[in-house]
Amino acid sequence: MGIGPLTKQRMAHMYGAELEIWDRFLAGQGGRVKDCQYDVHVGAVRELPPVSTPEDRRLWEALSSKRVDVVCRWDGMLFLVEVKEVQNMSGLGQVLSYVSLWNSEGRIQGKARPLLVCGRLDPDLKGGYVSQSVEVVCV
């Protein structure tokens, strides 16, 4: 089962260098990346402080939820993608947390794998990504 139509929509928090990196990744895949969804929420939203307006609630839910940069199928496999300018430890933690939440939620799309797409590698971090089975593509 697909995860939705291919869309060119980008989430509000992907801009500048990250957007350029993602576009370079897509351009280099020759159509192998399909069914992209952006800014996909996983996990629970934190509880709203007691005094709030409807607008406060909408903003709180949007900002306090965990959002995967991209959910897509790549060569038929489901990936949760974090896009970073430079491979880093926060990217590793984010993508592992997103996959854990996604897989524990029993999503109908199935189990997902972690992927970091970045513009530059940090050689010190290769072992951490490899040991956690996180695929890294540098473009």
pLDDT, tens digit (0-9, with 9 covering 90-100), for 2-31: 343 334 455 556 778 999 999 999 999 999
Question: Which CATH number characterizes residue 21's domain?
Answer: 3.40.1350.10
Residue 6 inside a domain? The answer is no
The string of pLDDT tens digits covering residues 23-77 is: 999 999 999 999 999 989 898 877 777 767 888 877 877 777 788 999 999 999 9
User: How far apart, in whole angstroms, are the C-alpha atoms of residue 100 and residue 117?
Assistant: 19
* Within-domain flag for 108: yes
Query: What pLDDT score does 87 carry?
Result: 97
Domain membership flag for residue 1: no
Segments forming the whole domain that contains residue 57: 16-138
pLDDT at 9: 56
Query: Residues 14, 38: contact at Cβ < 8 Å?
Result: yes
Q: Which two tokens stand for residue 102?
A: 């996604």
Q: Amino acid identity, residue 13?
A: H
Domain total for the chain? 1
